[in-house]
Amino acid sequence: MSQFEHAMSWLGLAGRTCVVTGGAGGIGSETARQMAAAGAKVAVVDRTEALGADVVNDIQRAGGTAIAIGCDVSDVASVTLAARTVIRALGPARVLVNNAGIGGGGRTALLDASVDEWNRLLSINLTGAFLCAQAFGAQMRDAGTGGAMVHVASIGGDIAIPNGISYSASKAGVLMLSRQLCLELAPFGIRSNCVSPGLVRTPMSEAYYRDEGRLQARNKAVPRGRIATSKDMAEAILFLSSDRSDYVNGEDLLIDGGLSQVVMANIPRI
């Protein structure tokens, strides 16, 4: 058995239908590629089919199986149509990666935040995860073969971020959504877990890292000594999607290089 074949066998994802929302973004595209490399049939779901086309082309050129699907995760009809497309083209989902989301963008303080900003972030980050969990969870239940859901939350879902009320609240909601899904879907053999990234350099966060001084300051702030990459996140997502985490359910894996542990190091000492 080759090293590649061993990796496919070890993860147990070969032949399984895996749905990755936000599949054209940094974390999503890396996750889709790694799942395809492990032998999965991947549905790359993003706002438009064209956005996922490059990822699908990369996967197909490497010999993998993938399709691109356009979907507005905040819209019930759009999610329903995407779910029908997946089951028709690839078979019922066995894995759902709820990765679609948006950042705070022009974040504002709590007292200045608009209802429009609040509703926009919650509709995509939280309602989108809920709708996809419903649609693809039903496929897993009806197929009777179990499944796994991995939801991309954030360190901001557990630790307050300055001027990040809408974003942090949406990600905190994702954490509780996952726990609720764990409770309700476990009788069907469906697991639900979260990954919570810390500082990750992706196309969505690239603006924070264009300044070399800021980049180095952020690298230094992380005990691991560097900002995370999409690959760091994707590898954890694959683990939670695979048979190797079969007894892990309702958990949140914080992937921050130790960033959340430095608070006491910043306390002045006598």
Q: Which of 167, 208, 209, 247 is catalytic?
A: 167
Helices (H), 107-256: 115-122, 128-143, 165-185, 212-221, 230-241
Residues 264, 213: Cα–Cα separation, whole Å: 24
Torsion of CA 88, 91, 94, 98, to 10 degrees: -20
- Domain-located, residue 168: yes
Full strand arrangement of the beta sheet holding 65-70: 65-70, 41-46, 17-21, 93-98, 147-152, 190-197, 252-255
Which residues of the chain fall below pLDDT 50? 1
Token pair listed for 42? 């991947």
- Domain-located, residue 264: no
Task: Give the total number of structural domains in the chain.
Answer: 1
- Domain-located, residue 261: no
| In contact, 256 and 197? CB cutoff 8 Å | yes
Three-state DSSP class for residue 39: coil
Question: Which pLDDT score is estimated for 206?
Answer: 83
Q: For residue range 114-135, what is the model confidence (pLDDT) as tens digits?
A: 999 999 999 999 999 999 999 9
Neighbours of 256 (CB within 10 A): 21
The CATH number of residue 224's host domain is: 3.40.50.720
Q: Which residues pair with 150 in a beta bridge?
A: 97, 193
- Domain-located, residue 244: yes
Helix (H) / strand (E) containing 157 = none
- Domain-located, residue 235: yes
| Residue ranges making up the domain that contains 67 | 3-256
pTM (two decimals) = 0.93
Catalytic residue check, 209: no
